[in-house]
Chain A
Amino acid sequence: MDKIVAEKLSLYYGPKLALSDISIRIAERQITALIGPSGCGKSTFLRCLNRMNDTIPGTRVQGQVLLAGQDIYTPGTDVVELRRRVGMVFQRPNPFPQSIYDNVAFGPRVLGLARHVDLHSIVEQSLRGASLWDEVKDDLRQDALALSLGQQQRLCIARVIAGKPEVILMDEPASALDPIATLKIEDLMHELVKDYTIVIVTHNMQQAARVSDYTAFFMLGKNQVGTLIEYAATRTIFTVPHDKRTEDYITGRYG
């Protein structure tokens, strides 16, 4: 079942076309990896999925992005609600300079989710869901910035989960982390995907090969415009890619 469907999605920064005609169907409760060389538009595409590009002046989008069948670019769309449903984790962990507890409770408080349910249980469930609970449960009042980078990233994931999203977008979530913290994030992704649809941008092809069910390869096409070259099951992309350009990239012969 498709959770997100992009139909002929193009994106302009002012007059410049940055992404051209991207059509892709992202499967529900699967991990989809977006790979490709720097500047190929994969992060830009990711940010189209919860309209993060709206915050950049002069950005214009053509085509459609359907989330569970609804076009998220329809005028009148509640963008705050959209970003709750489609949460995002960034390259550098970005916890608020507050306690662990307040970081996770932030979303539920702002969104009013905690009015009728126990905020404590949301915090605990979210921290458990992010595989962080056992490491922090004894001192939830601790400053989030005192955690290791890997823990901070899992805290950011807990913060996203607390908003009860449907989709989690991850923009190079492990690129600032050491190998052990990276593997913890990857294991966590395998847990999260039981409940959420995950789309991850990664520069690390082995990571894409390890964690994802589907892989989309982007590169700059004609006129230096971000283009989707090939999209298939991850095992296909990494063993028998169909497009020569994909093969050259994943075997390290691109460029």
Chain B
Amino acid sequence: MSEPVGFPGGERTSTVSVLELRSVSKVYGEGATAVQALRGVDLHVEPGEMVAVMGPSGSGKSTLLTIAGSLEDPTSGEVLVDGARLAGMSRNAKARLRRRLIGYVFQDFNLLPGLTAAENVALPLELDGVRARKARADGVSALEALGLADQAGRFPDELSGGERQRVAIARAIVGDRRLLLADEPSGALDSATGESVIRLVHAACKKGVAAVVVTHDAQLASWADRVVFIRDGKIVDQTAPPPGPESLLAQGPRS
């Protein structure tokens, strides 16, 4: 194992997970109106792993995702992304982390109006200082990989729902992203389109991207390497992760 590279602005640990949540809790409000959204959640997501999070409404799935993506701070506990501890990071450092390592996919696409598909995909790169032409070229490449090359110049309101979500996925994985967080990515799509979107997420994971996908759809969750069940802010169950090559080696030769 090589020595981890320190992420600017965050204290680097020797962890190997892309995402690591340690005893994370989140409380909204105070006193009588306080709502416990997460209660001591522990979660590790390895590179190339696709984790599906399932649970009823209000169980804390989206909160888990926003805390994992540095959009919110936990009330207690610790979050590490690519080995970088989020606690103590400035807003700017978190923003840098998001544009370099984390990609988001939302149920309602959240493409920026006024920017073409290629510009939407290139936006994280441009925000990170990549020149517009290079970023645009990378964006078009990412769209090509998802079969949207001919839509690169179109604006979001000229695309279908499935195309918009594919553009959102391209935006989430463009560059050198390592963590893809998707909140009901197929929620606004028909089942066939939804499945094609999940396939794309799965394909990204095959290339080394770690993904956390919140979904209500058990069929789509079946694409995941691991499914985490969450209820009332606690992880109540999860399927076992598939055995890695190391574990197979550790078992030694079968008799």
Q: Answer whether A and B are interacting partners.
A: no
Question: What is B's interface to A at a CB cutoff of 8 Å?
Answer: none
